[in-house]
């Protein structure tokens, strides 16, 4: 089968925040359909749709109560089918979010499982006896508290690596795997084009369930015992045989805690599991004194070292996914660029160049193509995210962080920064809804919005559009080997791509100061593919300048 996913650019939609068609303040499927022309204009090939399944929304749809029904807030199955066919008409593929490490506690399987120890669904989930009247071990859940919830009815605990409304499925049970595979086939038969697999590296747990190390916070880290567990590759190969290999689809696994060696198994050219994984090293750097919460900037050297390592070591063996942000991360320009009015546009374009010129499939998170910024909410009431709210309480109420310190961390890191509504135009609520938006719109929508940027030749939007087009015109952008340059530089991220006698040299200034750079001396005959400045001055890079030059 043709590996079309290598040539593609993927656009992630977080449906709740994309476009609301019926005025209830919540984005929906018809809202997406109405904006497919926009995505076609941008030129993306694939949409990764965050979950749209029926869900009580404890974690905005990542807690699914019925995998074969659509969340009523988002519309109906007819709306879904229409969106799928309208996307296909425009040559845009749809990749579904597959959340099968856990379900909602309101899923019928769990409702049954909870009823009694001998219920036929009991073993669909991970139930354990308590230890000395306490939880089976010291693991913490990703959204705060213990990872175990006590059930009075049967006097046992069930495991939930995320919220207590997200019980973990027991993948050791062949019946669970069969149910999941059947459900996946059902979606494939509908004509979808792939799956992004939520926390798929967590589906096989260490059977010993040992205590985890308590580093910061109140609970033990379960990472080493739930990520990349003993049977994960076996299960994914089975999934590949039973489902994936039968369809022309793309797959990307979200693989928390994955090493390069592991990634070669998940996404190896010949290992028969998935097409690629998301790894998180470059977004998890920095100070971890209060869990993932840190307001400190990461030095370019560390960032580059992490990203280059993946570029170099997967070469020829597995395929990279490239991203700066998604629905779980702060906004790219606020985190890695400079979102002040002076440098927002130029630094957003610089980041785009740096990422899209690398080897792998680039992912754009909705609004990134406009250079949307963090929300920087200053009141806790403005936050909606379960992770942010729980972390605030857990850390401040147990004396692990000060209130102001924690609010500053939320401003920099909270997932809600990425979840504020898409900024379409200058109308009320940025054109996202005619009602009251479920989360506040970023105040800067009068300056930053799609309508204005589509009309402005030099906008961030038109820059992304050009980058996407360049990928279609230059095979070297897809297949060229990556070779790092200036590896000791503190300010410039530079590399080259090499392919059949051609070469692209890329340099990105990650600072607001002018930096000396001799990389382009002698390349005057090369063709400038793209740059965020009108003119490149030989010998230097202007503040946040990015440039890519093709040489034959
Ligand atoms: C990342 C997911 C995140 C979900 C979590 C639970 O880890 O994308 O948004 O909250 O996985 O499903």
461 with 505, same domain: the answer is: no
| Total structural domains within the chain | 2
Q: Are residues 459 and 488 in the same domain?
A: no
Average pLDDT over residues 166-176: 98
Supply the residue whose CA is at minimum distance from atom 6 of ligand 1. 62
Q: Does 162 reside within a domain?
A: no
Indicate the residue among 465, 488, 518 that finishes a domain.
465
User: For residue 9, what are the contacts with CB-CB under 8 A and spacing of at least 6?
Assistant: 43, 44, 45, 46, 356, 361, 362, 363, 364, 468, 471
Return the pLDDT at 75: 98
| 425 and 542 belong to one structural domain | no
Q: Is residue 331 part of a domain?
A: yes
Question: 167: which DSSP letter?
Answer: P
- From the CA of 328, how far away is ligand 1's center (Å)? 7
Instruction: Compute the distance between CA of residue 108 and CA of residue 114 in angstroms, rounded to an integer.
Output: 10
Give residue-wise pLDDT tens across range 384-443.
999 999 999 999 999 989 999 999 999 999 999 999 999 999 999 999 999 999 999 999
Whether 270 is in a domain gets the answer yes
Residues 6+ apart with CB under 8 A from 432: 17, 19, 20, 27, 421, 422, 423, 424, 441
Q: What is the DSSP letter of 453?
A: H
Give me the pLDDT at residue 288, please. Answer: 74
Which pLDDT value is given to residue 286? 80
Question: Residues 3-39: pLDDT tens digits?
Answer: 999 999 999 999 999 999 999 999 999 999 999 999 9
Q: Are residues 225 and 279 in the same domain?
A: yes
> Looking at residue 248, what is its pLDDT?
96
Do 315 and 445 have their domain in common?
Answer: yes
Report if residue 260 sits inside a domain. Answer: yes
Confidence of residue 480 (pLDDT cuts 50, 70, 90): very high
Contact yes or no for 55/7 (Cβ under 8 A): no
Instruction: Return the pLDDT at 226.
Output: 97
Average pLDDT value for residue range 233-249: 97
**3-state SS assignment for residue 504:** strand
Q: Do 345 and 485 have their domain in common?
A: no
Question: How many CB atoms sit inside 10 A of residue 435's CB?
Answer: 13
pTM, 2 dp: 0.96
Report the CATH number that the domain containing residue 72 is assigned in CATH.
3.20.20.80
Q: What's residue 216's pLDDT?
A: 74
> Do residues 438 and 363 share a domain?
yes
pLDDT of 1 above 80 = no
Q: Which of 168, 328, 413, 418 gets mutated to test ligand 1 (max ligand atoms within 8 A of its CB)?
A: 328
Give dist(CA 98, CA 532) in Å, integer: 37
528 CA distance to ligand 1 centroid (A)? 40
Q: How confident is the model at residue 552 (pLDDT cuts 50, 70, 90)?
A: confident
Boundaries of domain holding 534: 480-550
pLDDT of residue 49: 98
Domain boundary among 410, 439, 465: 465
Task: Supply the pLDDT for residue 435.
Answer: 98
Q: What is the pLDDT of residue 257?
A: 86
Query: From the centroid of its chain, how far is CA 490?
Result: 27
Residue 487 lies in a domain: yes
pLDDT (average), residues 123-148: 95
198 is catalytic: yes
Q: Which of 198, 273, 387, 412 is catalytic?
A: 198
| CA 336 / ligand 1 centre spacing (Å) | 22
Quote the pLDDT of residue 524.
Answer: 84
- Please give the average per-residue pLDDT across 68-89, as a whole number: 98
Q: What is residue 447's predicted lDDT score, i.e. its pLDDT?
A: 97
Query: Do 444 and 523 lie in a common domain?
Result: no
| Residue 262 pLDDT exceeds 80 | yes
Residue 404 forms part of a structural domain: no
Question: In the predicted model, is pLDDT for residue 161 greater than 80?
Answer: yes
Average pLDDT value for the chain: 96
- Single out the residue in 465, 500, 533 at which a domain terminates: 465
pLDDT at 411: 94
Q: Kindly tell me if the per-residue pLDDT of 294 is higher than 80.
A: no
Q: Are 155 and 149 in contact (CB under 8 A)?
A: no
Is 80 exceeded by the pLDDT of residue 346?
Answer: yes
Q: How far is CA 204 from CA 199, 224, 225, in A?
A: 11, 11, 9
Residues 367 and 487 occupy one common structural domain: no
CA 36 to ligand 1 centroid distance, Å: 25
* Among 254, 262, 387, 496, the one annotated catalytic: 254
State the CATH number of the domain containing residue 543: 2.60.40.1180
Assign 380 a pLDDT band (cuts: 50, 70, 90).
very high
Query: Does a structural domain hold residue 408?
Result: no
| Residue 222 forms part of a structural domain | yes
Residue 272 pLDDT more than 90? no
Q: Is the confidence at residue 215, as pLDDT, over 90?
A: no
Please say if the pLDDT value at position 540 is more than 90: yes
Q: What's the pLDDT at 64?
A: 98
Q: Rounded to whole angstroms, how far apart are CA atoms 70 and 64?
A: 10
254 noted as active-site residue: yes
- Residue 377 has a pLDDT of 96
Provide the pLDDT for residue 309.
Answer: 97
Report ipTM for this prediction: 0.91
Which residues form the pocket of ligand 1, taking CB atoms under 6 Å from any ligand atom? 59, 62, 99, 162, 198-199, 254, 327-328
Q: Decide if pLDDT at 364 tops 80.
A: yes
Residue pair 121/113 in contact (Cβ under 8 Å)? The answer is: yes
Same domain, yes or no: 6 and 45: yes
Confidence of residue 291 (pLDDT cuts 50, 70, 90): confident
H/E run at residue 108: helix 108-113
Q: Please compute the mean of the pLDDT values over residues 234-259 and round it to a whole number.
A: 96
Q: Alpha helices, DSSP H only, in 191-231?
A: 223-226
Same domain for 194 and 229, yes or no, is yes
Mean pLDDT of 174-202: 98
Can you name the residues that pair with 252 across neighbouring β-strands? 196, 276
For the cut 80, the answer to whether the pLDDT of residue 287 exceeds it is no
Instruction: Check residue 528 and give its pLDDT.
Output: 96
Tell me, yes or no, whether 458 and 494 share the same domain: no
**Band of residue 530 on the pLDDT scale cut at 50, 70, 90:** very high
d(CA 198, CA 254): 5
């Amino acid at each position: 089968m043709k590996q079309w996913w290598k040539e593609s650019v993927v656009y992630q939609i977080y449906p709740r925040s994309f476009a609301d068609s019926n005025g209830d303040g919540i984005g929906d499927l018809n809202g997406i359909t109405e904006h497919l022309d926009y995505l076609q204009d941008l030129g993306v090939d694939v949409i990764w749709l965050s979950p749209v399944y029926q869900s009580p929304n404890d974690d905005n749809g990542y807690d699914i109560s019925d995998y074969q029904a659509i969340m009523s807030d988002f519309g109906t199955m007819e709306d879904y089918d229409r969106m799928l066919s309208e996307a296909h008409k425009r040559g845009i593929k749809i990749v579904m979010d597959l959340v099968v490490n856990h379900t909602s506690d309101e899923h019928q399987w769990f409702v049954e499982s909870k009823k009694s120890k001998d219920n036929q669904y009991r073993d669909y989930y991970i139930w354990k006896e308590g230890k000395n009247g306490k939880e089976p071990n010291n693991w913490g859940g990703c959204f705060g508290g213990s990872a175990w919830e006590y059930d009075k009815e049967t006097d046992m605990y069930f495991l939930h690596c995320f919220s207590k409304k997200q019980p973990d499925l027991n993948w050791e049970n062949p019946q669970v795997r069969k149910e999941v595979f059947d459900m996946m086939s059902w979606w494939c038969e509908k004509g979808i084009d792939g799956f992004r697999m939520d926390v798929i590296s967590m589906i096989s747990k260490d059977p010993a369930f040992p205590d985890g190390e308590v580093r910061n916070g109140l609970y033990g880290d379960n990472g080493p015992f739930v990520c990349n567990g003993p049977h994960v590759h076996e299960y994914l190969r089975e999934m590949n045989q039973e489902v994936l290999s039968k369809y022309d689809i793309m797959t990307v696994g979200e693989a928390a805690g994955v090493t390069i060696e592991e990634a070669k198994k998940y996404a190896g050219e010949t290992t028969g599991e998935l097409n690629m994984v998301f790894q998180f090293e470059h977004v998890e750097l920095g100070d971890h004194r209060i869990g993932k919460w840190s307001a400190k900037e990461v030095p370019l050297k560390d960032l580059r070292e992490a990203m280059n390592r993946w570029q170099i070591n997967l070469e020829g063996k597995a395929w990279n996914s490239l991203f700066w942000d998604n629905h779980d991360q702060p906004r790219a320009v606020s985190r890695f660029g400079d979102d002040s009015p002076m440098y927002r546009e130029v630094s957003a374009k610089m980041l785009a160049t740096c990422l899209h010129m690398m080897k792998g499939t680039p992912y754009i998170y909705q609004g990134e193509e406009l250079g949307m910024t963090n929300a920087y909410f200053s009141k806790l009431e403005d936050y909606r995210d379960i992770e942010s709210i729980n972390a605030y309480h857990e850390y401040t109420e147990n004396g692990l962080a000060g209130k102001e310190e924690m609010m500053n961390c939320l401003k920099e890191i909270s997932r809600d920064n990425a979840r504020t509504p898409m900024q379409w135009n200058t109308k009320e609520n940025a054109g996202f809804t005619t009602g009251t938006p479920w989360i506040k719109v970023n105040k800067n929508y009068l300056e930053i919005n799609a309508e204005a940027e589509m009309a402005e030749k030099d906008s961030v939007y038109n820059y992304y559009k050009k980058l996407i087009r360049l990928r279609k015109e230059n095979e070297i952008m897809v297949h060229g080997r990556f070779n790092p340059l200036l590896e000791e530089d503190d300010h410039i991220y530079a590399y080259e791509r090499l392919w059949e006698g051609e070469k692209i040299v890329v340099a990105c200034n990650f600072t607001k100061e002018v930096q000396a750079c001799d990389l382009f001396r002698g390349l005057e005959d090369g063709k400038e593919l793209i740059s965020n400045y009108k003119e490149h001055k030989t010998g230097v890079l202007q503040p946040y300048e990015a440039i890519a030059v093709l040489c034959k």
